[in-house]
Amino acid sequence: GCDANAGCSHDNTTNAVECTCKTGYTNTGVAPNVVCTDTCAIKNGGCDPNAGCSHDNTTNAVECTCKTGYTNTGVAPAVTCSGE
């Protein structure tokens, strides 16, 4: 079976089980094992070091929000947090 945070499907040719991590999760397993880890737990989800990582309530996509005292100076969708 697949990780609790993965979707399960079958290969069209071989009918082998394929596991794919859901949005907001990253595969940290070693092939062929799929281990889905919260993306925010891995390098702050790719967010700026001065940003917090969270997930959208609807899509579970990663959201980066600048910490207090920092302003987003990036061009969407990039979030770049600069000190005031």
Residues 60-84: tens digit of each pLDDT: 999 999 999 999 999 988 899 999 6
Whole-number percent of the chain with pLDDT over 70: 99
- Greater pLDDT, 39 or 78: 39
- pTM score: 0.81
- pLDDT tens-digit series, residues 43-53: 999 999 999 99
39 neighbors 26 (Cβ within 8 angstroms): yes
What's the pLDDT at 19?
A: 96
What's the pLDDT at 1?
A: 83
